[in-house]
A and B are shown apart, each in its own frame.
Chain A
């Protein structure tokens, strides 16, 4: 169906052949890399969310020591380049794990790139998520929480019925940003040699010398990911903002 286009622009034929899903085309490799990127981004985002909830609650309700330690965590992670954190946590994490294993009499293991990637990016995401969630929780009017308590709700009930639904629309724009950062930060794992989309692309481009074709194709894949998830988060925010005073889309 593209024949007419190919006649007009011969280079397009060559690019389409290079991007074919079956070898000798490299499309399959790119898609596999994209799936790896998505898995890491999802895992890191989920881990970051967990750390963020814990961190936000700790920063608001924790003792003075917890608060100071959390402040150190968020400050350090937000001031040091992700690349360096990834290398530090990757080497240190492997070392510590193997030392624990040695103490337990086990043999050292090689950490899989996937697990290490999720753990490291999750810790980075957690620092940003802590700040986003803290801001969102603090924006819930105190009166609503006091009213819930006056009705005799337990702290868990207050969180589930009042705090969570009231803070969600305020947290969603920040979380959406964090998700976009997570998808793009997976590219950094290319530098520690994990076969995600950017590294697969570079290998394909390096061995075929068709740099523009592959980098533009990978850019398109990333762009589809971010645009689709942007839409999704927009829909989610509109949904949870319903019924709030001064609701604006």
Chain B
């Protein structure tokens, strides 16, 4: 390690020690159970929205890269719409808009789904998933297009059915090429999750806001929150590096 880096690390350690001893952390034990629930909610919102969003992004990308015009145009429009408006606006449109529309229909209120639809998280999940689908649809369009045509022709020459070509040649290669971008986009999605706190979903950000409102302690919860999100970002980056090492083999 170079000498200047040792000095920098020492300064950072001193800052951490100062923060640990001179800032107020006595609120932590009281809010710890709530915070754990919040972290859990943030993580499953992130994982579910990424999985659902990506499942939507594959057909969206495929339609744009190789679909007929009547499929490609709506897919392109969907991606432009999502990417051209703020996520906060989308979340509020879905929560306040649909949320105020649904109760007007008696058959929705009487249905089995109503206890779920009365909560906030389904709207948050839908908004986050659609947003991820919009951004990743664009990424997958590029990824599908970047697979050399010769590969697909070779698969066809081997007698693969169109579906087998897609599953065994086209999709795996497009995925391997898109993985580095997808890792970055997943971190961006993680950074978007605190927005759901504005529609009363109690994620970890909402817990920190509550600490701030209850105790008037401003910096400590925010700093801890920043560290938590950084750790989460680091974990996501590590996971995707592992995936890249596994699935990126043999790509020139």
Contacts and interface: CB of A to CB of B under 8 A. Distances in A.
A81 B97 contact: no
Interface size class of B (residues with CB under 8 A): 35 or more
Interface string B215-241: 000110011011001100110000000
A83 B96 CA distance: 21
| B contact face: mostly helix, strand, loop, or mixed | helix
A79 B187 CA distance: 7
A143 B205 CA distance: 50
B86 A222 contact: yes
Contact of A191 (B84, B85, B96, B198): B198
A46 to B, nearest CB: 20
A158 B164 CA distance: 55
Given A81-B191, A83-B194, A227 B226 contact: no
A180 B84 CA distance: 8
Contact of B89 (A78, A80, A83, A201): A201
Given A81-B191, A211-B100, A215-B97, A222 B4 contact: no
A153 interface: no
Contacts of A218: 89
Given A84-B194, A198-B92, A227-B84, A92 B219 contact: yes
A208 B223 CA distance: 38
Contact of A65 (B8, B81, B92): B8
Contacts of A215: 89, 92-93, 96-97
B223 A88 contact: yes
A87 B206 CA distance: 13
| A contact face: mostly helix, strand, loop, or mixed | helix
Contacts of A54: none
Contact of A211 (B2, B93, B234): B93
Interface stretch (A4-12, A165-173, A182-190, A234-242): A182-190
B145 interface: no
Contact of A81 (B4, B84, B90, B205): B205
Interface of A: 64-65, 68-69, 76, 78-85, 87-88, 91-92, 180, 184-188, 190-191, 198, 201-202, 205-206, 209, 211-212, 215-216, 218-219, 222-223, 226-227
Across the A-B interface, the 6 shortest Cβ-Cβ residue pairs: A187-B86, A79-B233, A215-B93, A226-B84, A81-B191, A184-B86
Interface of B: 2, 4-5, 8, 80-81, 83-90, 92-93, 96-97, 100-101, 187, 190-195, 198, 205, 218-219, 222-223, 225-226, 229-230, 233-234
